[in-house]
């Protein structure tokens, strides 16, 4: 083989653990096309449809009275569920991560249960208890307390579906961090709560934020469970996702997509914040790739 | 006392060993082994050059060590030979054929990685058979031929009976031998080993070194291996290539490298050595203000005096000897090692005396001269 | 100091707050999760076996279950293939917009299901951007079982990508170099060396995507068409029965779904444990 020929061949030879450039670009093109079609296009469609009758119609839709009521209810439900499950998540993570006890893995599995239940079933179980033909329903109704087809039911259903989010993010990271820092604080004379707020909390703040972010996204966006318990009374027991459904079923497409676009906006902000946290604090967020 | 002065530190010795034909019954050879020629190879990773103008000739059937500290370019050179990297300049020939025109798949080399790189999801048998099964159907041996070959290789590496195990079920030394068998299975022209014993504990390492040498005698492959352990290189190799920062410092047999180092680096890297900064003036060697009883010739200028700690003779206190004060002493193998502070500038050196030597205490003055030394331009 | 093998319930520790934390945890867990789920079990139990079987074997219910599970399996399978492809491209290659696309993969996690539902319907309806393109070929997606599959592919994709990605990032390039040095072509190397190590996480991702898809409601009901026996998913049937105040039927379907899901997940976990032993570890 002559030198020139060999060198020409050398120019074509590539590092051994790679594909031919053609193959590489085909794979990239296919993957990108798949993602664009299946993920990006729906998002674009939401905003496209929302503004399809112009900006005025858009703003009219999102400032309409029932829409605003739905937004208020969504925010209320989130404002109750997220802090409640935040406190729970911290307590559960504290118990699981800082102590050794029998049945720990059973507890962790139970905490994950809501993930394996269909949203509709999540709502169903509350109907069975609090519904008109349910176990406690008639009794409560006799006392004037309405759970199903009212706000309390919506809150309960949302609590159920958002239950594990914060705990799942905190448990791994707190387990990894162990008890060293807390033991050091205690040996220096700090009490329990002081130790928690001054020592533990700073160590877990990014994982906590991450969990709250996911919990909030689910709380605001939950549809199936809330749909079952809600009764869908406009202006009263409609969250934003339910309102979207109602508008859509009444062929008010633009209005439906307008409200949906607000939810999509929240989703995009959640995604951006989530990604930002992952990029900067990957070490402090244990389960960045686990869902 | 011998006088050794070197001024040209770099030369490549053309191999002179005759090709050793392999025994006909060996399962791992394919025709006669080939020699490897490297000409003016340069390799740069972006802005950082890893190899500068490296030239080398390896005789067929030779066992050569690429020796150097980390960052010396030895692994890069090995990977260039393998085809896992492509040089930015120069030529590589296997026998008379240009190797750079071939991808790693086509070069027909056997590569053994430092971490073995065994396929964890395959049994030992399938690992070894991998290369044979990967051949296009034209050249692929039949199933029974593959089986035959794998079993004979397992015997060769003394792992017979373990063909159904998975890599996770083997010890480090066993995995290493499977990696070797896997590389030998494809009848490579050249066998390349990257720090083959690096990950093993020292006892296993010594056993495997002995075993590799025996294997090489039996199969006769041209073999190149990379190591940072000079003891390993000296024990195993027919010739050693000492690399430093991308350049060849010296190529030679273990004796040549040890007894006639071509540069201060080689002298310092191989075996233990003590170095003293000296200068040559008017045909005499000066250590600080003291003239030494060491015959020299050459131009004036600074020199590094290098000698082995155990290769000294204690002499009476006289003007031409190296004089110093003992600051520490400890047992060192079969002798005693003294830390000595020398001269005005209090250079710290190590010097060995036989264990039975009369007690030399801390604080004592001691005078000595090296039996054997080298001087390099500083 | 008691050794860890002799403590009865909890290993002694100087950290305070165990009782408080565990107590609160268990209380909240029971109130929100355990008691309501127990209610479901109790209610189903109160139906009695015979009644349960009769309800469960209703043809409409069976059709809905078939659709829910069938579409979920198909969607999870599609996600398995494309999820590996997407993970491969994101991990191995550099191209403009890669980081953005990587972040974007999580969209189905963040987007409310109802929003996804109406968006997908708008896209795949006969007059939609994609539906309009497929229409001339006689392919209808919206309001058919195919629409259900499309929606389930949407929500299941991140599961596969995110479980396969970390494993792919950890693959030792030296294994690929070793295979190449032994003469294997690139495709052979990918097939025999790389893909087997991806099997355990792929199965995990497949299982997660499947579990999510089976119970999915919001993304599906808009695009599905919801015609009984044809394009009606099981969760919708539960809702229908509830609006008819037919609690027994609703709970029967829900329980059945739970049982089949658990069985499926158990099977997948076993397969995945096997594959991890076989292909996964040192």
Q: In which band, very low, low, confident or very high, does the pLDDT at B31 lie, cut at 50, 70 and 90?
A: low
Q: How far does the CA of residue B130 sit from the closest CA of chain C (Å)?
A: 7
Nearest to C193 among B106, B119, B168 (CB): B119
Distance CA C258, CA C82 (A): 28
Are C180 and B104 an interchain contact pair (Cβ–Cβ within 8 Å)? yes
Residues whose CB falls within 8 Å of the CB of residue B7, separated by 6 or more in sequence, listed in order: B298, B377
- The chains in contact with chain A, meaning 3 or more Cβ pairs closer than 8 Å, are B, C
Q: How far does the CA of residue A201 sit from the closest CA of chain C (Å)?
A: 15
Q: How many residues does chain C have?
A: 282
Partner A contacted by C132 (CB < 8 A): no
Q: Residue B158 CB: number of other CB atoms within 10 A?
A: 12
Going from the C-alpha of B314 to that of each of A101, B98, B291, B306, B344, the distances in angstroms are: 71, 56, 17, 17, 20
Nearest to C110 among A101, A217, A257 (CB): A217
Nearest to C182 among B134, B167, B168 (CB): B134
Residue linked to tokens 């032993």: C277
Partner B contacted by C74 (CB < 8 A): no
Instruction: List pLDDT tens digits, range C241-266.
Output: 888 888 888 898 999 888 888 888 78
N-terminal to C-terminal alpha carbon distance within chain B = 22
Partner A contacted by C28 (CB < 8 A): yes
Q: Return the H-helix or E-strand segment holding B336.
A: strand B335-342
pLDDT confidence of residue C6:
67
Best residue of B83, B109, B121 to probe chain C, by most C CBs closer than 10 Å = B121
Are A45 and C93 an interchain contact pair (Cβ–Cβ within 8 Å)? no
Are A128 and C130 an interchain contact pair (Cβ–Cβ within 8 Å)? no
- The chains in contact with chain C, meaning 3 or more Cβ pairs closer than 8 Å, are A, B
Closest CA to A174 of A31, A287, A46: A287
- The chains in contact with chain B, meaning 3 or more Cβ pairs closer than 8 Å, are A, C
User: Chain B contacts of C174, Cβ < 8 Å?
Assistant: 113, 115, 117
Q: How far does the CA of residue A19 sit from the closest CA of chain B (Å)?
A: 13
Q: Which residue does chain B place closest to A9, by CA atoms?
A: B101
pLDDT confidence of residue B240:
95
User: Chain B contacts of C196, Cβ < 8 Å?
Assistant: 121
Are B83 and A1 an interchain contact pair (Cβ–Cβ within 8 Å)? no
Residues whose CB falls within 8 Å of the CB of residue B336, separated by 6 or more in sequence, listed in order: B329, B330, B352, B353, B354, B355, B357, B360
In chain B, residues 131-160 whose CB comes closer than 8 Å to chain C: 131, 134-135
Are A15 and B85 an interchain contact pair (Cβ–Cβ within 8 Å)? yes
Best residue of C27, C120, C122 to probe chain A, by most A CBs closer than 10 Å = C122
Instruction: List pLDDT tens digits, range B301-345.
Output: 888 889 998 888 888 888 888 888 888 888 888 888 888 888 778
User: Chain B contacts of A15, Cβ < 8 Å?
Assistant: 84-86
User: Chain C contacts of B140, Cβ < 8 Å?
Assistant: none
User: Chain C contacts of B168, Cβ < 8 Å?
Assistant: 281-282
N-terminal to C-terminal alpha carbon distance within chain C = 37
For B20-45, what is the mean pLDDT? 68
A and C: number of Cβ contacts within 8 A: 294
Are C123 and A42 an interchain contact pair (Cβ–Cβ within 8 Å)? yes
Distance CA C203, CA C84 (A): 11
Q: Which residue does chain C place closest to B190, by CA atoms?
A: C181
Q: Which residue does chain C place closest to A115, by CA atoms?
A: C212
User: Chain C contacts of A46, Cβ < 8 Å?
Assistant: 115, 118-119
pLDDT confidence of residue C281:
55
**Residue range C48-279, CATH number:** 1.10.3720.10
Distance CA B256, CA C237 (A): 88
Instruction: List pLDDT tens digits, range C182-196.
Output: 999 999 999 999 999
Query: Is the Cβ–Cβ distance between A211 and A170 less than 8 Å?
Result: yes
pLDDT confidence of residue B315:
85
Q: Is the pLDDT of residue B197 over 90?
A: no
Q: Is the pLDDT of residue C1 over 50?
A: no
Partner A contacted by C176 (CB < 8 A): yes
Residue linked to tokens 């590389």: B183
Instruction: List pLDDT tens digits, range B203-235.
Output: 888 888 888 899 898 888 899 999 998 889 999
Q: In which band, very low, low, confident or very high, does the pLDDT at B25 lie, cut at 50, 70 and 90?
A: very low
pLDDT confidence of residue C282:
38
Nearest to A101 among C10, C115, C218 (CB): C10
pLDDT confidence of residue A286:
59
Going residue by residue through chain A, which has 291 residues, state the pLDDT in tens, using 9 for 90 and above. Answer: 344 444 444 444 677 778 888 999 999 999 999 999 999 999 999 999 999 999 999 999 999 999 999 999 999 999 999 999 999 999 999 999 888 888 888 888 888 888 888 999 999 999 998 888 888 888 888 888 888 888 999 999 999 999 999 998 899 888 888 888 888 888 888 888 888 888 889 889 888 999 999 999 999 999 999 999 987 777 788 999 999 999 999 999 899 999 999 999 999 999 999 998 888 887 666 554 443
Q: Which residue does chain C place closest to A92, by CA atoms?
A: C25
pLDDT confidence of residue B351:
87
Best residue of A10, A12, A14, A20 to probe chain B, by most B CBs closer than 10 Å = A10
Dihedral sign computed on CA atoms, order C84, C85, C90, C91? positive
3-state secondary structure chain C: CCCCCCCCCECCCCCCCHHHHHHHHHHHHHHHHHHHHHHHHHHHHHHCHHHHHHHHCCHHHHHHHHHHHHHHHHHHHHHHHHHHHHHHHHHHCCCCCHHHHHHHCCHHHHCCHHHHHHHHHHHHCCCCHHHHHHHHHCCCCCCCHHHHHHHHHHHHHHHHHHHHHHHHHCCCHHHHHHHHHCCCCHHHHHHHHHHHHHHHHHHHHHHHHHHHHHCCCHHHHHHHCCCCCCCCCHHHHHHHHHHCCCHHHHHHHHHHHHHHHHHHHHHHHHHHHHHHHHHHCC
Are B186 and C183 an interchain contact pair (Cβ–Cβ within 8 Å)? yes
Are C118 and A46 an interchain contact pair (Cβ–Cβ within 8 Å)? yes
Q: For chain B, list residues whose CB is within 8 angstroms of any CB belonging to chain A.
A: 83-86, 91, 97-98, 100-105
Are B130 and C181 an interchain contact pair (Cβ–Cβ within 8 Å)? no
In chain C, residues 253-282 whose CB comes closer than 8 Å to chain A: 254, 257-258, 261-262, 265
Q: Which residue does chain A place closest to B93, by CA atoms?
A: A1
Instruction: List pLDDT tens digits, range B268-304.
Output: 888 888 888 888 888 888 888 888 888 888 888 888 8
Q: Residue C170 CB: number of other CB atoms within 10 A?
A: 9
Are A111 and C40 an interchain contact pair (Cβ–Cβ within 8 Å)? no
User: Chain A contacts of B100, Cβ < 8 Å?
Assistant: 6-7, 9-10
Partner B contacted by A18 (CB < 8 A): no
Nearest to A1 among B84, B97, B105 (CB): B97
User: Chain A contacts of C158, Cβ < 8 Å?
Assistant: 291
Distance CA B298, CA B149 (A): 61
Q: How far does the CA of residue A172 sit from the closest CA of chain C (Å)?
A: 16
Distance CA B261, CA B250 (A): 8
Are B117 and C184 an interchain contact pair (Cβ–Cβ within 8 Å)? no
Q: In which band, very low, low, confident or very high, does the pLDDT at B193 lie, cut at 50, 70 and 90?
A: very high
Are C181 and B111 an interchain contact pair (Cβ–Cβ within 8 Å)? yes
pLDDT confidence of residue A177:
86
Are B135 and C278 an interchain contact pair (Cβ–Cβ within 8 Å)? no
Q: Is the pLDDT of residue B4 over 70?
A: no
- Write down the domain spans for chain C: 17-46, 48-279
Please provide the average confidence, as pLDDT, over all residues in chain B.
Answer: 85
pLDDT confidence of residue A233:
76
Are C279 and B182 an interchain contact pair (Cβ–Cβ within 8 Å)? no
């Amino acid at each position: 083989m002559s030198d020139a020929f060999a060198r020409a061949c050398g120019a074509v030879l590539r590092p051994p653990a790679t594909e031919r450039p053609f193959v590489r670009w085909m794979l990239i093109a296919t993957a990108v096309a798949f993602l664009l079609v299946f993920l990006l296009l729906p998002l674009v469609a939401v905003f496209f449809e929302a503004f399809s009758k112009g900006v005025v119609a858009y703003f009219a839709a999102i400032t309409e009275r029932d829409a605003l009521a739905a937004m208020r209810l969504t925010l209320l439900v989130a404002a109750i569920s997220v802090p409640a499950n935040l406190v729970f998540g911290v307590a559960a993570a504290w118990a699981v991560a800082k102590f050794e006890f029998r049945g720990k893995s059973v507890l962790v599995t139970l905490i994950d249960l809501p993930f394996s239940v269909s949203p509709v079933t999540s709502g169903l179980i509350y109907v069975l208890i609090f519904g008109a033909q349910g176990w406690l329903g008639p009794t409560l109704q006799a006392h004037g307390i309405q759970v199903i087809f009212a706000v309390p039911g919506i809150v309960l259903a949302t609590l159920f579906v958002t239950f594990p989010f914060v705990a799942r993010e905190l448990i791994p990271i707190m387990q990894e961090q162990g008890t060293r820092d807390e033991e050091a604080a205690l040996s220096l004379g700090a009490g329990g709560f002081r130790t928690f707020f001054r020592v533990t909390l700073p160590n877990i703040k990014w994982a906590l934020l991450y969990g709250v972010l996911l919990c909030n996204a689910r709380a605001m966006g939950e549809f199936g469970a809330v749909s079952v318990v809600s009764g869908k009374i406009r202006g009263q027991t409609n969250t934003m996702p339910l309102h979207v459904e109602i508008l859509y079923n009444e062929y008010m497409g633009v209005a439906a997509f307008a409200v949906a676009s607000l939810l999509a906006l929240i989703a995009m902000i959640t995604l951006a914040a989530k990604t930002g946290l992952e990029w900067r604090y990957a070490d402090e967020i244990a389960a960045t790739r686990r869902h | 006392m011998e006088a050794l002065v070197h001024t040209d530190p770099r030369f490549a010795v053309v191999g002179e060993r005759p090709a050793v034909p392999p025994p006909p019954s060996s399962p791992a050879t394919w025709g006669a082994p080939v020699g490897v020629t490297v000409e003016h190879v340069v390799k740069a990773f972006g802005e950082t050059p890893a190899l500068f103008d490296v030239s080398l000739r390896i005789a067929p059937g030779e066992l050569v060590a690429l020796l150097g500290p980390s960052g010396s370019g030895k692994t890069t050179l090995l990977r260039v030979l393998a085809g896992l990297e492509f040089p930015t300049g120069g030529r590589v020939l296997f026998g008379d054929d240009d190797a750079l025109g071939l991808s790693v798949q086509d070069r027909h080399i056997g590569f053994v990685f430092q971490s073995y790189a065994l396929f964890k999801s395959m049994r030992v048998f399938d690992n070894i058979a991998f290369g044979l099964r990967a051949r296009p159907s034209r050249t692929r041996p039949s199933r029974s031929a593959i089986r035959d070959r794998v079993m004979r290789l397992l015997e060769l590496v003394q792992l017979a009976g373990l063909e159904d195990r998975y890599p996770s079920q083997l010890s480090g030394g066993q995995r290493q031998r499977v990696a070797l068998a896997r590389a030998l299975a494809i009848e490579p022209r050249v066998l390349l080993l990257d720090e083959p014993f690096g990950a093993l504990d020292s006892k296993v390492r010594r056993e495997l070194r002995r075993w590799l040498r025996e294997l090489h005698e039996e199969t006769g492959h041209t073999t190149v291996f990379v190591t940072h352990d000079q003891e390993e290189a000296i024990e195993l190799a027919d010739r050693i290539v000492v690399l430093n920062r991308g350049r060849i410092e010296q190529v030679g047999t273990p004796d040549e490298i040890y007894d006639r180092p071509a540069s201060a680096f080689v002298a310092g890297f191989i075996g233990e050595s003590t170095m003293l900064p000296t200068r040559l003036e008017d045909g005499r060697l000066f250590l600080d203000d003291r003239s030494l009883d060491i015959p020299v010739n050459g131009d004036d200028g600074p020199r590094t005096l290098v000698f082995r700690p155990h290769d000294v003779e204690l002499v009476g206190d006289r003007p031409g000897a190296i004089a110093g004060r003992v600051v520490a002493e400890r047992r060192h193998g079969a002798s005693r090692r003294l830390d000595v502070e020398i001269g005005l500038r209090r250079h710290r050196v190590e010097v060995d005396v036989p264990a039975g030597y009369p007690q030399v205490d801390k604080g004592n003055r001691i005078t000595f001269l090296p039996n054997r030394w080298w001087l390099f331009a500083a | 100091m008691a050794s860890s093998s002799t403590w009865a319930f909890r290993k002694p520790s100087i950290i305070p707050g165990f009782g408080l934390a565990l107590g609160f945890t268990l209380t909240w867990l029971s109130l929100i999760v355990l008691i309501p789920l127990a209610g479901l079990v109790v209610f189903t139990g109160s139906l009695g076996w015979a009644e349960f079987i009769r309800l469960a074997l209703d043809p409409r219910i069976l059709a809905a279950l078939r659709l829910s599970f069938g579409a979920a399996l198909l969607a999870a399978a599609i996600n398995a293939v494309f999820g590996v492809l997407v993970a491969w491209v994101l991990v191995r290659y550099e191209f403009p917009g890669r980081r953005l696309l990587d972040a974007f993969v999580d969209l189905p996690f963040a987007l409310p299901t109802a929003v996804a539902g109406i968006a997908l319907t708008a896209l795949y309806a006969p007059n939609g951007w994609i539906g309009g393109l497929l229409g001339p070929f006689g392919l209808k997606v919206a309001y058919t079982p195919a629409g259900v599959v499309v929606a389930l592919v949407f929500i299941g994709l991140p599961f596969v990508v995110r479980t396969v990605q970390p494993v792919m990032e950890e693959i030792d390039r030296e294994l690929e170099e070793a295979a190449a040095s032994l003469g294997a072509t690139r495709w052979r190397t990918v097939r025999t060396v790389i893909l087997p190590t991806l099997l355990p996480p792929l199965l995990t991702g497949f299982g997660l995507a499947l579990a999510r898809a089976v119970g999915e409601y919001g993304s599906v009901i808009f695009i599905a068409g919801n015609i009984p026996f044809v394009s009606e998913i099981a969760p919708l049937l539960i809702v229908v029965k509830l609006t008819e105040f037919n609690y027994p039927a609703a709970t029967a379907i829900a329980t059945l779904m739970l049982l089949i899901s658990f069985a499926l997940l158990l099977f997948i976990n076993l397969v995945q444990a096997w594959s991890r032993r076989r292909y996964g570890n040192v």
